[in-house]
Structure formats: structure tokens, C-alpha cells
Structure 1
Amino acid sequence: MTTDTMNPGDNPDHASAAAGLAFAAAVQAWGPPGEAPGRAVGEPGAADEWLRRMHRDEATVDFDWIHPTWLLRALQDESPAVRAVVAAHGPSVVRRALLASGGVPTPDRAPHPEVLDWISALWTERLVGGAAERADDPPAIVALARPSPLEGYRLWWTVGLVKSLLARGPDDAAAERAGWVFDRLGPPPPETRDWARRDLETVAKARVSGRRRTALLGLVTLARLLADCEPFRVRWALQHLPYPIVKRVRTLMPSAPKRAAAVSRLESLILRTAWDHLILENRIATPFPLAPERIDDEH
């Protein structure tokens, strides 16, 4: 792909962050740096509008979409007076979250208008906004942001189930009820089974049991896939999960030197296998996201 054929929705390596996408849109509208503007293939006005819309989305917080635990976290270091003002004058979902967490004092007087403006503008600084859907969102982001909480739990539990079956192999008694996994993936080679077993051992140390352990195993897959996504978009999408769960996911995310392309491909295949199975069972409505179409250099 060349910059001449780049669309703002495309996500090449150098445009994986908002700044890179902005640069791509600028190149499309005004031409590559150091060259005459005549090479531009887009409309500057359209590029301006796209960038403004992206900035507006990222600066606008959707309180109804964010999990209430994130709202409480945003206010945890504020004074009782500030929390009372936000509860009285902020979004209703914030008031409900504060009341559910133990209540807030009722202000004995109306806040000064300027103080109210400052509080309203600053208390959300720990929260991030974003477009509800972006054409270049990878499957891990879509899996976090678009399914309902129940569908999300089903998805990560099923991902964990797939990985646990890979660790046990097709001859395990538990695998008889999940032949669809090996029909799709085939029998795992020894190195794959060993890799999946190591994840099982990691999750076992968390001291959770039953379905929660299986779902946590699925979140290990999520953590690895998120490590390859745009950081700002990751932070936005994680707000859809309860904050205590997000803290656990972050501890599982590998650092850059520890990432392996082969592992990412395998985790992606596990996610796709689980997702497709839930689609067939009508247990998730969100379709698996297909990669955006690319325009190759030769075209």
C-alpha cells in the first residue's frame, strides 16, 4: 500500500495510533511531505472534518456505556464536596453509582457557577471517549466494546473453554462434549498443549474456581491480543468492563519484548473459534469483525 491509496480507516503499522491516522489523512488530502500539493488524492475539507470528528469522539465520554466502577474510580480521590456536586449536577448514572457505593452528602447550598463549570470539566479527566464503532477496530476491541455484558461473559468463558480443551487434548473425557473445538482446530501438537497448560497453571494461581476460572483463562487471550492494539483505543474499550477485572487483565498483558507473532495468531484463532461457535448457537449477536479491505500497491 502507498500513501496515495491510504484511507483514514486503514490501519497500517505506522498509522496504528490516532496521530498516525491523522498523518495518513493529511497525506491523503495534501500530498506527501516535500512534494507538490498536486499529488493529493483527497479533499482537505473532508480530512479536516474527519479529524475533527475523531477528536470530538475521543473528547466525549459516554457515561451510560462506561461501567459504573470506572465512574467511581474517577471520583475516588475527590473531596466529599466535589463528589456531592457531581452527584447533584452530573449525569444520573454517576449519581446512581455513588449512591450504590455508600451514598454522598447533600450540598447545603448551590455551587458557584464557575466552580460548577470547573468541576464538571475536570472530574472526568481519568475517563476517555471514543467512537462507538471504527472500521479498523481489531477483533479484541470489538469483543470488548460491542457485545452486551452477558454476551461478553459468554465469549470470554468460551474462549477459556477452547484453551482448556487444547491443554487437555481430544482424548480427554471433557472434550467429548466439545468436539466442535477439534473439528475446527484439529488435534493440538505437543507444544500447543504445553503452552495452553502453562496458561492453565497461571490462572490456577488466581484462586478462582468454576466458571470464573474458565472466564479468566479467556481474559488471558484478551490480554495478549490487546497488547498489539492501539493503546488509546484499548483504554477506551476496557472501560466497558468492571475496573477490578481490568486491573487483572493489565497484569496479564505482555510487554513488547515478550510478544510473539505466533502466539498472537494462535490466540486470534482461539477467539475466532469461540466467537463463531456462539454465533451458531445464537448466543451472541455481534458478528465477528472482518478486516477492512486493503488496496494493494499493484492495484
Structure 2
Amino acid sequence: MKITTKHFLALALIVSIIACGKPNVKDYTISNTIVDDNYTPIYTAKQLTDRLKSSDEDSLSDGFDQFFSDWNKEIEPNSLDFIFQNDTINNVFNVYKALYKPLDLLKLGDWEWGNELNSKCKFVAVQNKIYYAVLITESLEDTDMNFAKRDSIINFRPPIDLDKSKVLYLTDEYDKALNDFLGSESTELGERNLMNPSMPKGNSEKRYEKIRSFIPVLHGHWGGYWHLDTHPSVGNIVFNNTMTKAKVEFRVGYQGGEATLEKKGKEWLIKESRATWIE
């Protein structure tokens, strides 16, 4: 087929139309306009629980595959308008993105499971809420006394550095549905050995084994609860008053860690990260 100038012009027009529909992140600037989050649940927690139970009862169906595939496709990250509404919110998202290494945990410190905690799963489940604070000082020392602002983002759905087909956002209704489905049957802490954490048992253990191939669910150390969000789970981000440094408290499995990040240009870089406690 002969390619003419007319064909090239038509192709260029199509490409420009597509580009106009998908703005580049680099083109966004801070708007300083309050932007409401646009998330609206599609299903109730009960509807989601019923789907999980139905899939569990029908051993011949691919219900679990469909459940997690639908979840991945139906819930999108926060909009760019939301992320760029002000400098503080934008920095929260950027610090989280720089720190969130669920498939490369050893970049954040040494952990009892090494890099195996989140292995052999099809998806990661990103936490639904994040806390942050801004200090009145340039230094990150004595953070407990120097908060100028403490706040949170609910329905936190950050873009992350992973293939989007592998990312799930753990909204309230999915959190409740998974907790209801998994239940709370568990052994006593130290039941088999003084050093052993509590483990799921009965129906909770059977259901856990089915869910674990999709997301790296972790049973609670003390028993009767679950860690559904894929670690590292960020507990708090604290910025200095110029927003050039940040201290992050996070959890990996049954351990906790602390990281310090610094801003170079528009990029946040991890300067130090290590484990600081263990359950």
C-alpha cells in the first residue's frame, strides 16, 4: 500500500486527539484549588462478601480470578487534579511512591522474611488511608512537639511504580468484605512454640490459602485479625517546614521501620531506611 502525505496527516491528527485525552503528568502544576475525591463504590461490602463466598463454594468456577480481575479494573488511582491540588498533597503522593517497594523490600532494610513476604502473588493491595504532618521547624528532630499540621487522606489511591494490572486499591468496602470472608479463627499466640505468632485455623486457614495466591495477606501476630494491605504499610509521613525532607514510619510484616527521604529537584530520594522494632 502506498503511504501518502494525506495518510501521515490523518495519523498525526489521531495521535494528537488521543494525547489531548490523556494529559501528561509533567504538564500538571499545583493548582491550590480544593479538589474533592471522585471515588464512588460500585458494590457494597456485603455484595463483595457474597461473591467471595460463592467463589469459595464453587470449586469448579474461576470466581476468585474474576473477583480480583474486576477489582483491578474497576478502581482507578486518584485523579491528577486531586494529586496536584496543593504542594503538601502532591508531596505526600510523591514520598509514598518513592518509598513503596513491595516487591523489593530489602531496599528498605533487613526483614525476618527477607524479600519473600509479598512473593508469589498476582496483585498488591495498596492501603486506603495515610497520615501526614508538617513541622514548624526545618529540622526533623523532636517531631512529636513540632507539628504545624496533622492530617490524612482517605481513599488514598496513589499511582505507584508497578504495572497497573497488578495493583488493587484497598477501599473500605473491599477491606470489610475480605475481613468478613477470612473470619477470625486463629490459634493462641505461642501455642506450638513460645516464639510462634498466632496462626489462622479452621475455615479461616482454608480461605486464607485461597486468597494468598492473589494478594499477600498476612495474619495478625496476636491473632484474630489480618493485615490486608501489602507491606510496606506507611503509618505516618512527617515533613519539615520547607518540605525538602521527610521521615516515614512504616510496617513490614511483624516489624516496623523508619526511613528518611530528601527532595532533589522534583524527585524524592531515600537517604536512609532501616528496621526499628519487632513484635
TM-score of the two chains, using structure 1 as the length reference: 0.24
**Which of structures 1 and 2 has the bigger CA Rg?**
1
TM-score of the two chains, using structure 2 as the length reference: 0.25
Q: Which has the higher contact order (CA 8 A, sep 6+)?
A: 1
